């Protein structure tokens, strides 16, 4: 009977250690999950900012301004502009 008591006590201690270990791992995984969620939110904010910046950089007015001021390009005179509609040849 004494051996059975010792064996049961040993099994109980092993189970208790397993529970503590499982709880610790669960807490660590939860912390990792929360950190990853925060990183995902930060990346979404940065993505939104980058999309806004891209929209600003490729706006027609900005491109035209850069072409005129930095590259020295000018619009052609109106008599040199031809409008070609689809399906017709010049």
User: Does any domain span residue 30?
Assistant: yes
Into how many domains does the chain fold? 1
Share of the chain above pLDDT 90, in %: 62
- What pLDDT, on the 0 to 100 scale, is given for residue 60? 87
Give the CA-trace dihedral at 66, 72, 77, 81, to 10 degrees. Answer: -60
| Mean pLDDT computed over 84-90 | 71
- Return the number of other C-beta atoms located less than 10 Å from residue 83's C-beta: 6
Q: Tell me the mean pLDDT in the region 60-72.
A: 89
- What is the predicted pLDDT for the residue at 54? 92
33 in a structural domain:
yes
Q: And the tokens for 22? A: 């499982």
* 36 assigned to some structural domain: yes
pLDDT, tens digit, for every residue of 1-23? 899 999 999 999 999 999 999 99
Domain membership flag for residue 88: no
> Is 80 within a domain?
no
Q: Is residue 47 part of a domain?
A: yes
C-alpha distances in angstroms, 76 versus 25, 63, 79, 84? 70, 16, 8, 16
Domain that holds residue 61: 2-70
């Amino acid at each position: 009977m004494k051996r059975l008591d010792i064996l049961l006590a040993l099994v109980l201690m092993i189970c208790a250690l397993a529970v503590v270990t499982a709880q610790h791992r669960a807490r660590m995984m939860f912390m990792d999950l929360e950190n990853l969620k925060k990183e995902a939110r930060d990346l979404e904010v940065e993505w939104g900012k980058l999309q806004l910046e891209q929209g600003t950089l490729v706006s027609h007015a900005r491109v035209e301004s850069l072409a005129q001021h930095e590259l020295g390009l000018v619009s052609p005179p109106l008599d040199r502009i031809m409008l070609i509609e689809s399906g017709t040849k010049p």
